Structure 1
Amino acid sequence: MSDAGALSIPEPPEAWAAGSPDAEPQLLAAGPQEWRISGDWTLLALRGRYDEFRQRIAAAVAEPGEALWDLRGLRRLDTAGALTLWQGWGRKPPARLLWLPEHVTLFAQFMQPGAVPRRRARLAPGMALAGSRLLAFARHAVDIVALTGRLVLDLGRMLRHPSLIGWREISANVFRTGAQALPITALVGFLVGLTLSYLISKQLRAYGADIFVINILGLAVLRELGPLLAAIIVAGRSGSAMTAQIGVMRVTQELDALSVMGISHTVRLVAPKVIALALCLPLVALWTGALMLLGGMAAARMQLGIDPLQFLHVLPRVVQPANLWLGWSKSVLFGGLIALLACHFGLRVKPNTESLGLGVTQSVVTAITLVIVVDAVFAVLFSNVGI
């Protein structure tokens, strides 16, 4: 017999190798400092007895002196049995160990760093859920920052080499996200303006302040509601389409083909979408605001008898131009943010349909939520501008 580390081990006696097909796992003391392991140490043979054998092995290891462990009498050994021995030994091989060559492969998997993680402390379900969601949020934040960094670097390279700019792709995205969004934004904007003006008129008429409906409606539409409503509609309509387009490219392995050809995803896919949406969303917001004002004029004419020409004459005097510029600047930021989030979730889609649907849902929900948060930040930072 030889000590641990020797791979060339004498063959076991025939009496140890023989046994019944369902031989019981045995842990026997063959001497004062010698332990002999025999029988079947498999998943079926050890079922319900893992803790028993693990504790017996740990107690033997804790005894003074270095015991000799003889594994040559094992009839069958699988990963479950090897793991039981390994954990009983304290996750390290004994100093004196006799084993067969076929045992080396089973125990080698546990000797790799991090192969068998230690048992973690059990957390409450609520804490575990909160921790997992916090980690997922952190991963998304890191990936978005990385994507933004790559986009900035690629935009600089595109400015130095204009031939890299995908003018056709930018034009196509402007048409899809801007021109094709005009009907739905017009309808929603007109109805929202009509409803808002109707409710405001009902309240102002009770105090004899009918004319102030122009102040409230103009300020609310040009500064807040126009850009916000346009961004929400575009996020649900165009942001989901962008995510789905890139996600389908992942499913059909087109993204892998671009990578093989050395074409940057940000140059070919992300940059045109971000540029196009940042350019067209301010125009869509202006269009939506105009239709909201048109609906507001109609309601003011019906409820308060205010003539539309009077409405248009008073509006530029009571609403400062700074509100219009503030709304446009927010729309540029909203457009770039929606496109960036749509591309981020599209690039994270895995090659299956379930992940595609989940990515589209997350893209729309995140974009709308972040747009509202950014709008609230703008409202606080520029609360004294144009009012």
Structure 2
Amino acid sequence: MGTQGLQVERGESGPEEVIGLSGALTVQHLAALHAELEVAPPHALIDLTGVTRIDTAGAWALAEFEQRVSAAGGAVQYRGATEGAELLLSTVRRAMPIAEELPARPGGIHALLETTGRRVMGAAGFLGGLLEYLGLFLAGLFRVMRHPREFRFTSLVAHCDDVGLKAVPIVSLMAFLIGVVLAFQGATQLRQFGAEVFVVDLIAISVLRELGILLTAIIVAGRTASAFTAAIGSMKMRQEIDAMRTLGLDPVTVLFVPRILALLLMLPILGLIADLMGLFGGALMSWIELGISPSMFRTRLVADVDVSNVIVGLVKAPVFAVIIGVVGCHAGMQVKGDAESLGRMTSSAVVTAIFAVIVADALFSIFFAEVGL
């Protein structure tokens, strides 16, 4: 039968079905050829004597037909094919994807143990990668200390601006609102016992010791870890890091050290700003809700709150900064050559950095409780 310039004739020759093709076997007639070859006979003989032209699309249709016949337990033979057609068919056959049969996964307790083991090893490998990048940062930091000319001060200032100065508004607002909420909720609960004045202690200890620096680190982790991953990952996608190595530049010195060092310098300052704004918000709400004047708030703050609470809070800042910076740089270097990988690693960096900061804060709390601070 004729199909838009492609002639298809069917016949039988013994046990084989003869499919005679003539005309142009090209992409323009691909749909028609598929319709003719939709049913896979047990054995087929394809006569290509009358084919005047064949392209890759036509060869792919024939190769796919071969796969269907082979899957049904049959075989396909060709007759009258030119040397060019045979070469094209052979090339397309080699390029056809081969479906791999996945081994059956074990069930029951074996599957549970295997999955658990793989996840534990994956977590151990990930932790090892973070420790490796921490070592790279420390080595790079010692190197620029020995060779100050290699230190990129302009890059440090730029990252301090991005990490610190531009984060001041959101950190200040967050800390102010946290102080307001603590004062309001504390007043509501302590009023039942006539102990409203102790709301000052509640606000001061909560903000100075835990919430100020912890929430600041979480905000910085969301802003900065994602920014580090996106910037380094984009450079890796565009092969700029390979170009750096070709030019003799160390990516650790150029990319990692200024970013993590900027976090080390700016996170304690942001934590201090958060502490001040949290106390200011708490004092304002205490004045409005409980009638505790600013002078009384200050007096109670100085008399009842020890300076060790401030020290305990700010000591955590450098550790949080290193965690956030290492996680962001490590995730950026794991980006592959596609945009999907960049988005996935950026999200992973934020989640990992926030989780690591919370775990580190919990460990600090246990440590300070054990030493009596």
Asked if TM exceeds 0.5, the reply is yes
Kept in 2: contact 1:323–1:386 (CA 8 A) = no
1:133: Cα distance to partner?
3.0
Q: Which residue in 1 is equivalent to 2:106?
A: 122
Q: 1:349: how far off?
A: 0.6
Equivalent residue, structure 2, for 1:296: 282
The 1-side partners of 2:341 and 2:117 are apart by 22
Q: 1:350 is paired with a residue of what secondary structure?
A: coil
Q: Distance in 1 between matches of 2:372 and 2:261?
A: 28
Q: Which amino acid aligns with 1:346?
A: G
* Aligned ranges 1:312-331 → 2 under 5 Å: 312-331=298-317
Could you tell me how far apart the structure 2 residues matched to 1:351 and 1:333 are?
Answer: 32
Alignment partner, residue 323 of structure 2:
337
Distance in 1 (alpha carbons) for counterparts of 2:120 and 2:105: 18
Aligned-partner Cα distance in 1 for 2:315–2:358: 15
* In structure 2, C-alpha distance between the alignment counterparts of 1:119 and 1:235, rounded to whole Å: 41
SS of the residue aligned with 2:336? coil
TM-score normalised by the chain length of structure 2 = 0.71
- The C-alpha deviation readout for 1:120-169, integer Å capped at 9, x for no partner, is 97356655544443333222112112112222222221111111111111
Give the conservation status (yes or no) of the 8 Å contact 2:105–2:111: no
Letter in 2 for 1:159: M
Structure 1 residue 291 displacement after superposition: 0.8
Cα deviation, residue 326, structure 1: 1.5
Look up the match of 1:226: 212
2:169 to 177, 183, 187: 183
Q: Partner residue of 2:345?
A: 359
CA separation of 1:216 and 1:384: change in aligned 2, threshold 3 A: farther
Which residue of structure 1 lines up, in the alignment, with residue 271 of structure 2? 285
Which residue matches 1:373?
A: 359
1:139 counterpart = 2:139: no
TM-superposed CA distance for 1:374, in Å, is 0.5
The Cα shift of 1:211 comes to 1.5
Which stretch of the first structure deviates more once superposed, 374-383 or 122-131?
122-131
Structure 2 residue 287 is the aligned partner of structure 1 residue 307: no
- Please state whether the residue corresponding to 1:222 is helix, strand or coil: helix
The answer to whether the 8 Å contact 1:320/1:386 transfers is no
- Please point out which of 242, 246, 251 is paired with 1:260: 246
Maintained 8 Å contact 1:278/1:336: yes
Q: In structure 2, what residue type is equivalent to 1:231?
A: A
2:181 and 2:153 map into 1 onto residues whose CA distance is: 40
More helix by share: 2
Corresponding residue for residue 169 of structure 1: 155
Long gaps (5+) in structure 2: 1-42, 45-65, 78-101
- Offset from partner CA, 1:302-338 (integer Å, 9 cap, x none): 1211001211222122121111112111011101110
Gaps of 5+ in 1: 1-21, 24-41, 50-74, 76-117
- After superposition, give the CA deviation of every residue in 1:255-303 in whole Å (9 maximum; x if it has no partner): 1111222221211111111111011001101101111111111111112
Aligned residues: 289
Matched, 1:241 2:223: no
What is the distance in 2 between the residues matched to 1:191 and 1:385?
32
Deviations 1:54-81 (A, max 9, x none): xxxxxxxxxxxxxxxxxxxxx9xxxxxx
Partner SS, residue 369 of structure 2: coil
CA 1:186–1:46: 2 relative to 1, 3 Å: same
User: Contact between 1:323 and 1:385, CA under 8 Å: does it hold in 2?
Assistant: no
CA distance in 2, matches of 1:126, 1:357: 30
* Aligned partner of residue 383 in structure 1, secondary structure: helix
Contact persistence 1:151–1:271 (CA under 8 A)? yes
2:261 aligns with one of 275, 300, 307: 275
Q: Classify the secondary structure of the residue corresponding to 2:249.
A: coil
1:216 equivalenced with 2:222 (yes/no)? no
| Counterpart residue identity of residue 317, structure 2 | S
CA 1:165/1:182 → structure 2, altered by over 3 Å: closer, same or farther?
same
Query: Alpha-carbon deviations, 1:67-125, whole Å to 9, x = none?
Result: xxxxxxxx9xxxxxxxxxxxxxxxxxxxxxxxxxxxxxxxxxxxxxxxxxx97973566
